[in-house]
Amino acid sequence: MRAFQIESLEAIPSLQNLPTPQPTEGQVLVRIAACGLNFADLLMAKGQYQDTPAPPFTLGMEISGTIEALGPETDGPSIGTRVAVFAGQGGLADYGCFQADRCIPLPDNMSFNDAAAFQIAYGTSHVALDHKARLQPGETLLVLGAAGGVGLTAVEIGKRMGARVIACARGADKLEIARKAGADHLIDATTEDIREVCKSLGGVDVVYDPVGGDQFTAAFRACRPEARILAIGFASGDVPQIPANHLLVKNVDVLGLYWGGYLKFRPEVLTNSMRTLFKWYAQGELRPHISHVRPLDQAAEALDLLRQRKSTGKVVVTLP
């Protein structure tokens, strides 16, 4: 089978021919149809992600496909079931062996591409806004990086939960995508002052921040008392230093979220969230925005779209 592998952290990832794996107890073999790319894949390729495995390994954190075989003493899903899997690694390959309990059967109306683009982005935003920040109807939500992979889903889910949504992104084209996802107000980060615009709108109750850096600081200064700031990631490359005395004075909470980490200590949080999200999708209330689809032999170019910030929403690699 083909696999887009990291041979060493000093080497450029490349397409390799490998034996097709065989599932062990508790595993299933999935013929992979599509793999969603994430900013974390770029970090993992450089050994900078918190869960980077030892090389060699295959990139690709989330996949969709069809169950082809079950390992010994493994109960379902049955062969032929269409599933989505949060794999953590191994998605950019023709086949993969994954834990059976991580396989989620797809709604009948969900395509493989949508499924591959769904779990991490929507799961992160839903767990962040619902479980962590407890966003309430009528509150004001500021989403930074609002046209990116997770930011766009935060706009969509925040609106679904009844919030007033302020979307911040760079440039008119990206802001238009956020507006179509449900944003009530738009901030162009290249020309406008985030703090001043938010203050003119009455301040914010919840900040969703996958960016960090100066945008975190500006959003922090726009918070109302008892606001909640969600630290989702640091796409800017700048991890903000938070003055604890300012948290005290403003009565503001900063909440960290690593979605995949819940698998290790409270997997039911992710399971319950995904059940809600798949129901919303089946009802037509959520639709992943996929800006680029590339075949496996163009995986390097697909990752480069993320690196150069040329994509909006998700980039998906297909495996025909």
pLDDT in tens, the chain (320 residues): 999 999 998 889 999 999 999 999 999 999 999 999 998 999 999 998 888 999 999 999 999 999 999 999 998 899 999 999 998 999 999 999 999 988 999 999 999 999 999 999 999 999 999 999 999 999 999 999 999 989 999 999 999 999 999 999 999 999 999 999 999 999 999 999 999 999 999 999 999 999 999 999 999 999 999 999 999 998 888 999 998 998 999 999 999 999 988 988 998 999 899 989 999 999 999 999 999 999 999 999 999 999 998 998 999 999 98
For the chain, the domains span 2-118+289-318, 121-260
* Joined tokens for residue 256: 């960290």
Using omega within 30 degrees of 0 as the cis cutoff, is the peptide bond preceding 19 cis?
A: no
CA distance 155 to 152: 5
Q: What are the two backbone dihedrals, phi and then psi, of residue 69, each rounded to the nearest 5 degrees?
A: -160, 155
Distance CA 123, CA 87 (A): 14
Q: Classify domain 2-118+289-318 by CATH architecture.
A: Alpha-Beta Complex (3.90)
Do the strands 223-231 and 204-209 form a parallel or antiparallel pair, or are they unpaired? parallel
This prediction's pTM: 0.88
Residues 31, 95 contacting (CB under 8 angstroms): yes
DSSP string computed for 39-107: HHHHHHHTT-STTPPPSSEE--SEEEEEEEEE-TT---SPTT-EEEEE-SS--SBSEEEEEGGGEEEPP
Query: What are the tokens at 208?
Result: 């969703």
Q: Phi/psi zone of residue 293: left (φ > 0), alpha (ψ -120 to 50 degrees), beta?
A: beta
Q: What is the CATH number of domain 121-260?
A: 3.40.50.720
What are the beta bridge partners of residue 225? none
